[in-house]
Chains A and B, each alone.
Chain A
Amino acid sequence: MKCIPSLAAVALGSAIASAPALADDTYGPFPITEKSYSGDKTDSTAYTGQMARHVLHDSLKKLAGKGDGTNSEEIKAQMMAYYAGKDAGRAIIAPASKDGFPVVQTEVDQISKGKDLKGKTYKGVMTGWPGNMTGPEVIEFMIDKASKTKGGFDPLTGYNYPQLISKFAMGAVFYNQATDNYLDEKLRADNKPNNKPYKDGAYYTGKEHSWDEAFGYFGAPAHALSLDAGQTYGIAKQKSLADADYNKDGKVDLYREMTYAHAYYAADADKAGTDYLHTIMRAFIDGRQLIADANGAALSDAQRSKLVGYADVIKTNWEKVLAEAVFKYAGSVYKDLQKLQVIVESSGDAKKAFATYGKHWGELKGFAMALQAGPKNLGELSVKIDRLIGYGPVLLGGGQVVAVSSSGDYEIGGGQDMGNYMVHMIKLQKLLGDHYGLKARKNDATSEMEDLVKSLGDSLAAEND
């Protein structure tokens, strides 16, 4: 019976996605409906805290690759300032202005003050990482390890910490907060009701701000509906000022005009033909409009039920975006292993190829753990994902990280070899593809096989000899 809400969400999602996108279909502005507010604000939309966390995350990722083997303490302190600190004056390390793509803000506080990532990190145990650690413990452990590497990569284990930290934090902070908190608990009638301000003196109601915060964590520019997947993706890559600069002031506002995190990966999947980004955006805008239309009154059961429907569309499609990313990087790891095998067999220099493999594996593992930090207990699926990926990439001589000792050192073991690990990647893609009914299926390691089976047909035949 569990599949019924999901099916309904997909059906509603398709209907939403097929609705015509108007050029002015942006997330906000929405009117002030909070009755107790008497100030001069005209727009009740507010998700600055979430966008501040996006730049904290981007900056943290950048810092994770800054170690040179001698500056461990300094790098670690900087990373912790962006992960757990709330101090004023923190510069935005990424995304920063570059030629042809100037950004408005240079400090985190210009978007929102006193924000951190640690306080919003999922507190459950992460089974996909060795050491039985909670979400914040995993990130702090990784930060410590990253600070001791050169460029964030550990050649002994194959770990690429910028990727591991970034992708896991995307799930443990943004995805978890949005889907397990704001689009879940905070949609209850008695939690942050719409006929009261979110907090005393606020110019937005409880439900308005809860919805805004979920939207912020998704990481889309407010005008994403007027962009196609390639344009939205290109904004994150800082490729086109024209696409990003919606208000035409010649600069990119990191609060409302930038693409971050999950929106970027939704757009990435959509380049292969899916419509996750616009489906999610449409549901966010329609949900927010529904709340605005209530005009500051408590939502009726019917209104709240409809809002929960929009939330289900967002959650279902968001989960698929993460699954598509795991699928994609399982395919990348498979290809990397194929290349490595050729290099090893010809006794070539595998250093560069191994680093690429580590980078893709970091993205694979980070996204898998992000998926596991969502609102649902994935049960058996989660166990299978962990078993197939393991705790670390399989190393050139075989074996992988199997545990962390009490002193925090990695233990390498296991009889896993590269050929067997390639099979694991195929199985992982099949597992996720079947479970989620994935459509983008980037880097599909067995697509040729499926295409051939389809072209040859597979039917019962009574044709005799």
Chain B
Amino acid sequence: MFEVAAQWFTDDWAVNFSSPQKRLFWGHLFAAFFIAFIWLVWAKRQRTRSALKHIFSREAWASKSARADYLMFTINSIVMGAMPRLVGSSAVAYLLFETMHAVFDGRPLITLIPPWVVATLFTLVLFVVDDFARYAVHRLMHAVPVLWAFHKVHHSATSLNPVTVLRTHPVEGIIFSIRGALVQGACIGVFVFCFGDKVSLVMILGANAIKFGFNAIGSNLRHSHIAIGFWKPLEKVVMSPAQHQIHHSVDRAHYDKNFGVALSCWDLMFDSLVHSTANQSLKFGLRNNERNPHSLKQLYFRPFLEAGALLVKPITRLLKDTRSKPLPQALNKS
């Protein structure tokens, strides 16, 4: 029993802080702290003590909302570890790889491009496609009521800290894993088909170099109360922490804005971009206050009830309509 618990702790829980592939990697957290500190001291002219107090504010780290984040993160690391993988990137890659043989009647090998170019291209394409897929799925999670029932668990956070990134309903986690498998599988399948053994990922500490770079320059500040905005033209391409905080705002003007993760160009293209403002002050959470928004029971089970009701509603309406309609004459007579 102790061994099982120890293994879970290292493989499923602590890995979030020890693996450079994860957003909460200790190195990325330290980088976020460092950036926040410098920003508060230099740009906001705060004293050291005041800056530290601001970064480690009780509201951000010890509120009811934050405690729910920590509990969900821990429970999810047990639940998600036990869940079956519905789609693996290997299966997707194989399917695409095989299909392309039939489409191209074989496999033309592109031999002129040097391996470092292929590796750079692959790393870049994987990052961009993955980021776009995140944008698209995120937008769907907001637009489709049944999906919103699950995604709003994340938005129910009334204070933000880096761990809020893992305040996710397990059903949403499954959707994310399918998205990840499709993106990775598709990129691998296409690139290996075209470039064979020249394909590799440019990595830093075992993680996608671009993703690592994005995380290292303070992605953890997205879920925080440190509202760092960028220069406007830059915010049209790269999502600033302050822009993502706008996405969590309860203000109606911010509703369904800034879906992007690393890149904000998707929001610009699809008309959902909002820029950050200097000294922005936001209230986080859901517009319609729900009862006990940080109770674990509500966070895990209410989405099922809401989604169930949304799915049943059209069926009951249909049955009601059928009953209220008069039967055709022929049937009435019989």
Contacts and interface: CB of A to CB of B under 8 A. Distances in A.
Contact of A419 (B107, B167, B177): B107
A378 interface: no
B120 interface: no
Interface string A397-441: 000000000000000000001111011001100100000000000
Interface string A314-328: 000000000000000
Contacts of B109: 338, 342
Interface stretch (B30-38, B46-54, B197-205, B307-315): B197-205
B97 A426 contact: yes
A430 B101 CA distance: 16
B165 A464 contact: yes
Interface string A433-465: 000000000000011111011011111111111
Interface stretch (B84-92, B224-232, B282-290): B84-92
A423 B168 CA distance: 40
A453 B23 CA distance: 20
A106 interface: no
B94 A430 contact: yes
Interface string B76-112: 1100110101001110011001100111111111000
Contacts of A456: 89, 126, 184, 188, 201, 208
A448 B196 contact: yes
Main secondary structure of the interface of B (DSSP, over half): helix
A330 to B, nearest CB: 14
A462 B79 CA distance: 10
B178 to A, nearest CB: 10
A430 B208 CA distance: 28
Contact of B173 (A345, A420, A460): A460
Contacts of B98: 423, 426-427
A31 to B, nearest CB: 50
A455 B187 CA distance: 14
A292 interface: no
Nearest to A450: B90
Interface in B183-238: 184-185, 188-189, 192, 196-197, 199-201, 203, 206, 208
B172 interface: yes
B102 A420 contact: yes
B180 interface: yes
B261 A465 contact: yes
B275 interface: no
Given A449-B97, A450-B90, A341 B106 contact: yes
B90 A464 contact: no
B134 interface: yes
Given A342-B108, A452-B199, A464 B167 contact: yes
Contact-size category for B: 35 or more
Contacts of A447: 197
A455 B21 CA distance: 11
Interface in B109-135: 109, 126, 134
B101 A449 contact: no
B294 interface: no
A326 to B, nearest CB: 19
A458 B184 contact: yes
B22 interface: yes
Given A463-B23, A464-B167, A453 B259 contact: no
B97 A446 contact: yes
Contacts of A225: none
A459 B21 CA distance: 12
Contacts of A464: 154, 164-168, 172, 176
Nearest to B174: A460
A338 B90 contact: no
Nearest to B82: A460
Contacts of B102: 419-420, 423
A333 to B, nearest CB: 13
A258 interface: no
B171 to A, nearest CB: 10
B106 A422 contact: yes
Contacts of B106: 337-338, 341, 418-419, 422
Contacts of A462: 73, 76-77, 80, 166, 168, 170, 172-173, 176
B138 interface: yes
B176 A449 contact: no
Contact of A465 (B134, B180, B208): B134
A195 to B, nearest CB: 52
23 contacts: A419-B101, A419-B106, A426-B94, A446-B97, A449-B93, A449-B97, A452-B93, A452-B199, A453-B88, A453-B188, A455-B206, A458-B181, A458-B184, A460-B81, A460-B176, A460-B177, A461-B176, A461-B180, A462-B172, A463-B176, A464-B154, A464-B172, A465-B134
Interface of B: 21-23, 73, 76-77, 80-81, 83, 85, 88-90, 93-94, 97-98, 101-109, 126, 134, 138, 154, 164-168, 170, 172-174, 176-177, 180-181, 184-185, 188-189, 192, 196-197, 199-201, 203, 206, 208, 259, 261
Given A446-B97, A458-B90, A465-B134, 13 more contacts: A419-B104, A426-B94, A426-B101, A448-B192, A449-B192, A456-B188, A457-B21, A460-B81, A460-B176, A463-B166, A464-B166, A464-B172, A465-B261
Interface of A: 337-338, 341-342, 345, 417-420, 422-423, 426-427, 430, 446-450, 452-453, 455-465
